[in-house]
Amino acid sequence: MSQSSRDREHHETAQRRAAPLTCFRKSGEPYTRHQAVEDEIARALGMSHTVWCDQSWRIETLVHLIRLRLHDNDPHVLGMLTYQFLERVKPIVDRWSRGYGTADSEEIQITAANELGDLLNEAPPSRTAEYLEIDAATVVKQATLRAIGRDRPKAREFQSADRDEDGQHTQTVDSLASDAPNPVQQLLAKAEEEAGGALRYLNAVTDPRHREAFILRHIYNWPLKDGPDGAPTLCERFKMSDRQIRNWINTAIEQMRAAHGAES
């Protein structure tokens, strides 16, 4: 290979590299992606974005590609990549949320998914949002533990060997066996059954309350009000009237339809 060919190849490779991350550790060191992620992103940028959904990417790579499609306002590829992201993080959420009752598990799954969706959409991204491109498993774990909260009955705690983006240990929950159904898996399966796969566009719902109300009502069949004794209701959860919650759900549906490109 001639020197000019090598120079041209080097230039083309450099052009395919992802823009550097913008945040810093508390120590002052800049955030940097792992080399394997940088290489995957470069490979993705060297092909048409229309075939990105046909590839198998690391979670960190998916995060970067999702952000590119958000920037370019590409709802179709964005929806497919987000679907892949949810499938990849599902086992991590499952791992850190086992051992709880069905209702608690559903709430944890929804809350964690909402937080991750918000992190994907942050512009400009916060330190936590950017850390998704460095160590997504840690961010997903922390989002799950925040969803669990301090007051929820849970298994014994132990000092985790995992570290956050600043190298600090975090309190985690021991994983216990559970036969409870996986709410996120149910959501994804339901999405496949919907006309056009509209539930893949949950990130298009701009208000997290609207998104959660839609999921609880249409995926988990929560009643608006006056449910069976002991059953949670949407009015109780949101402290809103059933009319207001219906408006929220209708807004969510319209936003997903718009993202999907379907007629309302």
pLDDT of the residue at 172: 36
- Tell me if 158 sits within 8 A of 172, measured CB to CB: yes
Confidence band (pLDDT; 50, 70, 90) for 82? confident
Predicted confidence (pLDDT) per residue in 94-139, tens digit: 888 888 777 787 788 888 988 998 999 888 899 999 999 999 999 9
Residue 234: both structure tokens together: 């949407």
In 3D, which of 211, 216, 186, 209 has the Cα closest to residue 201? 211
Predicted confidence (pLDDT) per residue in 2-61, tens digit: 545 444 444 444 457 899 999 998 889 999 999 999 999 999 999 999 999 999 999 999
Residues carrying CATH 1.10.10, the chain: 194-264
Predicted confidence (pLDDT) per residue in 162-214, tens digit: 455 555 444 333 333 334 444 444 444 444 444 344 455 677 788 888 888 88
Q: What is the chain's alpha carbon radius of gyration, rounded to the nearest angstrom?
A: 20
In 3D, which of 70, 27, 69 has the Cα closest to residue 50? 69
Q: Which of 74-88, 149-163, 237-251 has the lowest mean pLDDT?
A: 149-163
pTM for this model (two decimals):
0.57
What topology is assigned to 194-264 in CATH? Arc Repressor Mutant, subunit A (1.10.10)
Predicted confidence (pLDDT) per residue in 202-253, tens digit: 777 888 888 888 888 876 678 888 777 667 888 888 889 999 999 998 888 8
Predicted confidence (pLDDT) per residue in 44-72, tens digit: 999 999 999 999 999 999 999 999 998 88
Cis peptide before 75 (omega within 30 of 0): no
- Tell me if 44 sits within 8 A of 61, measured CB to CB: yes
Residue, of 261 and 66, whose pLDDT is higher: 66
Count of CA atoms in the C-beta half-sphere (13 A) of 91: 4
Distance CA 68, CA 88 (A): 19
Chain centroid to Cα 201, Å, comes to 12
pLDDT of the residue at 195: 34
